[in-house]
Chain A
Amino acid sequence: MATAAGPPPDDSAVPAGGRTRTRRVLSGIARPYRDSHGVGRFMLVTGTVLAAIMVVLAVFAPLIAPFGFAQVADVDGERFGNHLEPGGVHLFGTTTQGFDVFSRVVWGARTAVTVVLLALVFSLIVGVLLGLVAGYVGRWVDRLLVMIMDSLFALPALLLAIVVAFLLAEHIGGGAATAALAITAVYVPQYFRVVRAATVSAKEQTYVEAARAMGARSGTIMFRYLLNNVIQSVPVIATLNAADAILTLAGLGFLGYGIQPTEAAEWGYDLQRAVTDAGTGIWWTGLFPGMAIVLLVMGLTLMGEGLNETINPAIRVRRMLSITLPERAHESRPGVSPVSRQPGPGPEQDGEAGKDGAQ
């Protein structure tokens, strides 16, 4: 085999199909972790761990949080008290309204993860589809979509989210869906841009022309030839956008246009309440939800940058393992003795270098 870098050839003639495919997908997910090294790997792993912790908090919030997010009294009906300092039953203290800060942080993770996942799915579907169509079809469809998306891009993200949340709140209330849709509006143009650009360049690839040459219809070309290859640019930007989306969600909450406090715990809202506390020297109401945001956003950003480092060829470092050249040893076999080369210099030259000399 002349291809040096490919995975080991699997000669076992497995009547593949489904299994090969699943394996490929799985190994595709695992690849960045396997292939990364150095700083990139550190970032990728740290980021994944941070994000995973937050996801665990989100999934198991009911088990982890000692109290409900809007609970101000324990089961016996006894009120917690306002502005309790951290410690004891209330690990992170309590807020002005008498909520348990730790519980709100944990429940807040659930809100953040839910909203961002929803927004991610919505904006991916819309953005990828539109980007694919615009990039492939071109002409006026492309020009129109680009113009609209560029204009949306020119609106400050937070502003766009506020406006959409504000308008939607009138109709469907201030729940997670509203927040998710507001965030979707912000990120659709980004996916659109990335996917469109990838499509436009992939469209010029020979394999797409080959598909046309075999008579494939536009739909087939888009979904069987382009989508697969275009989608590869998505994971990095999706992770980074997820991080950004957390910030947008918190921004919405901070301004009071996100999720209403009665519906779910939301870190941005908690921080807004904490601004007034800061003036009186109460630090715990703001610090903990703030830290939660920072950790989640950092986790996702680290993951995104780590991914970028391993899969983006433009900045990837080719791994250079350090080697030492083996001593030149004369290969002596029974009955053969080395001679000096005729035109060459000293006798000490030549001979096959040691076989296992590497590393």
Chain B
Amino acid sequence: MRRSPLPTKPDVLTSTGGAQDDALMEIRDLEVHFQLRSNALARLVGGGGETVKAVDGVNITLRKGEVLGLVGESGSGKTTLGRTLLGLVRPSSGQILYGNQDIARLRQNKMRKLRQRLQMVFQDPHAALNPAMDVRAALGHPLRIQGLVRNKAEERARVVEALERVGLTPAEQFLDKLPSELSGGQKQRAVIARAIICGPELLVADEPISMLDMSVRAKILELMLELRRDLDLTYVYITHDLATAKFFCDRVAIMYLGRVVEIGPTEEIFADPKHPYTQALLAAVPDPDPERRIPRELPRGEIPDAAAPPHGCSFHPRCPFAFEPCGWEARDLQALFERRWTERGEEVFAREEHLVEGLSDLPSGQETVRLPVPSGRNASELKSLLDDARAEAPDDPLWRGVEDIDVEDGQVTLRFRAGIDPELRTVGGVDVACHLHDPDLKPPENAGY
């Protein structure tokens, strides 16, 4: 089907049949920071509070006609990134070049015009439709806002066309329905119809099938594939589900705490994941194949607080292969002791708790830290506790990052090795941000690469 039943895009952009590598959008050094206003006073006067770097320096070139997957867990910044591409969130810095315009700095009224070409499909189709608007009004509204129709009859015709395009046939049956009268799959179809009704070129789809019943998920994905083919769409597909990403995307970007840690062609990433985080994610997907098992070794802990991300590589506290330059700091030592007590039990905890209670107050991100010695105890006790902990878990990656432990003037000084922020570098066909793949750094022998 070559001729689309929907209006074609403005001339400038209808360069159909162009090379796959045509850049549709270029994201450069994009950062989105949010202010968390944590207390009443801050709320009152504005400002203050913590900053969360939801997107923390992302560079991606979006190619015309491709499906790019943004894959990550909650808090990875994938949704924020997707919304920023559509100008729904103002970035703190960086550029989003689309045509000859920078979406990051576009004024509202100019952005409004662009919205014909940039659209979004949401995770929860129920929430994405105004409960008080029937299907006709919901779909007709973007046309009216954009001034694409002259009268009601024209609007109705376009709405009917779009409904039929997404498989809601006969369209007459759906026109007067309120969202509450539609099933989940039907709602998502209506949301997609609304997204394509103005003839967009890019669709950002934020987990479009994760809230749907199992039996309609495949149908919606199939619909999206059809639309992509028929309307020459480009997709940014945001998901936490690696299985659909593998099936649906041409390229995937794996995100962790606001950064892209690995990006490349889907087949390559799934066949040979390079970043330890990607590897862990892939291994952790429960698969219906009973022969395939989740490994016993999983990254420990959970995604850290985005308001205080770890020093160096954000993944290092959970990474089994972390080594010297990954960004070790005092917090990691505290986590080590928590793990130790979890493993060794209450008695060890009761014995050691008091001695290292000051750990939680230590500054993060510093190479040299002085461990406070509780009153009544002396530094050598603390030192020997650290030595014991090291002797009992010598393979814990943390110890690779500890340069030395000294006792000076009744205080214990701990020096960490300098942490380096990993940058994306090309390895094979993919770009990966991990020191293990930096030839200048020497990963430990047992890292398995």
Contact = CB atoms under 8 A, between A and B. Distances in A.
The answer to whether A and B touch in the complex, with CB atoms under 8 Å apart, is yes
Interface of A: 1-3, 6-7, 9-11, 13-14, 16, 20, 139-140, 143, 147, 205-207, 209-217, 220, 224-225, 228-229
A15 B342 CA distance: 68
A143 B172 CA distance: 47
Given A16-B176, A143-B44, A215-B142, A210 B112 contact: no
A10 B194 CA distance: 22
Given A210-B128, A225-B130, A229-B131, A6 B181 contact: yes
Interface centre among A6, A207, A216 (most CB of B within 10 A): A207
Contacts of B133: 224
A11 B176 CA distance: 9
A6 B181 CA distance: 5
B115 A210 contact: no
A210 B194 contact: yes
B198 interface: yes
Interface residues of B, number: 41
Interface stretch (B1-9, B66-74, B117-125, B309-317): B117-125
Contacts of B134: 20
Nearest to B191: A210
A207 B145 contact: no
A40 to B, nearest CB: 21
B88 interface: yes
B199 to A, nearest CB: 13
| Closest A-B pairs by Cβ, 3 of them | A214-B142, A215-B115, A228-B132
Contacts of B115: 213-215
28 contacts: A2-B183, A3-B180, A3-B182, A6-B181, A7-B181, A9-B181, A11-B173, A13-B173, A16-B176, A143-B46, A207-B128, A207-B129, A207-B130, A209-B83, A209-B120, A209-B122, A210-B120, A210-B194, A211-B130, A213-B86, A214-B141, A214-B146, A214-B198, A215-B113, A215-B145, A217-B112, A217-B145, A229-B132
B12 interface: no
A7 to B, nearest CB: 7
Contacts of B43: 143
A10 B175 CA distance: 11
A205 B131 CA distance: 11
B350 interface: no
Interface string B26-43: 000000000000000001
A137 to B, nearest CB: 14
Interface in B86-130: 86, 88, 111-113, 115-116, 119-120, 122-124, 127-130
Nearest to A5: B180
A213 B180 contact: no
Contacts of B182: 3
Contacts of B86: 213
B122 A206 contact: yes
Nearest to B124: A206
Contact of B130 (A1, A9, A143, A228): A228
A214 B194 contact: yes
Given A214-B115, A214-B146, A205 B127 contact: yes
B130 A229 contact: yes
Contacts of A139: 46
A209 B88 contact: yes
Contacts of B191: 210
Contacts of A220: 145
Contacts of A213: 86, 88, 115, 119-120
Interface centre among B44, B83, B134, B145 (most CB of A within 10 A): B145
A216 B127 contact: no
Contacts of B132: 228-229
A207 B190 CA distance: 13
A215 B112 CA distance: 5
B180 A6 contact: yes
A215 B130 contact: no
Nearest to B170: A13
Contacts of B127: 205-207
B145 A214 contact: yes
Contacts of B142: 214-215
Contacts of B131: 207, 229
Given A3-B183, A206-B123, A215-B145, 16 more contacts: A2-B184, A6-B181, A9-B181, A13-B175, A13-B176, A20-B176, A143-B46, A205-B127, A209-B88, A210-B128, A211-B141, A214-B146, A215-B146, A217-B112, A228-B132, A229-B132
Contacts of A16: 176
A10 B115 CA distance: 34
